[in-house]
Homo-oligomer: A and B are copies of this chain.
Amino acid sequence: MTGRRTSDDLKEVIRDFRRDQVIDVARRLFGERGTIDVSMDEIASEAGVARSTVYVYFANRSELLRACLQGMYSQLLEAIASTWEEEAEPSRRLGHLVEEMLAVVDESPAFFRLALITQGTQARDGEVVGAELALIGLDIARLLHDLLVEGIAQGTFRTLDPDLAIGLVGQQIYGAMAVRAAEPMPRDRSTVSAEIVEFILHGLAA
């Protein structure tokens, strides 16, 4: 049994590596063409493995989708976190948050398009994706909540129910992401996020 431990560990590393290999391909394909018309066959062959092998790593299509979403999400959180600390001013933080979320959309528009709707649906891929997305939404809402409370305390934002504000701001971002996901040639990300923040802050009224 000499080296059994390290041997097992190695297996695990290899396993993870393979898994990631499939996830990467899947994310790319889903991102380009949406989840529905990308078959497991195609993902497998593109990743250079047999279809049956994919089912060794992922119980089913939904598991694979979930893994893709998790990857997308941790990437998003990482990006947000990296700008979060270096910028304390609430409206600027909001700007960064928006920009990062738009960046996710830009990376995999078609994937994102699906990811958005399936919230709460029990459609083909929806069930699992929806549950996953809801959790992501909660996390973002938490960030938004802290940001708003701080902004209100600092006097940047006017005093209003944070939960209401989260809903409204969240909707604005959500809409911006969805619309952007449908655009063939999205405009410059930082310009767009600046416009959005400006609108969120001041509205339309004269």
Asked if A123 meets B34 with Cβ closer than 8 Å, knowing A164-B195, A173-B175, A174-B175, the reply is: yes
Contact partner of A113 (CB less than 8 A), chosen from B119, B158, B202, is B119
Tell me which of B33, B167, B169, B174 contacts A122 (CB under 8 A).
B33
Determine if A196 is an interface residue (Cβ-Cβ < 8 Å): yes
A204: chain B residues within 8 A (beta carbon): 148, 151, 157-158, 160, 165, 169, 200-201
- Interface-side segment among A46-54, A63-71, A177-185: A177-185
Where chain A touches its partner, the secondary structure class is helix
Bitwise, A108-123 to B at CB < 8 A (1) or not (0) is 0010011011111111
| Most B CB within 10 A of own CB, among A122, A173, A196, A205 | A205
Distance, CA A35 to CA B148, complexed state (A): 37
A156 is an interface residue with CB less than 8 A from chain B: yes
Which residues of chain B have C-beta atoms less than 8 A from A118's C-beta?
Answer: 113, 117
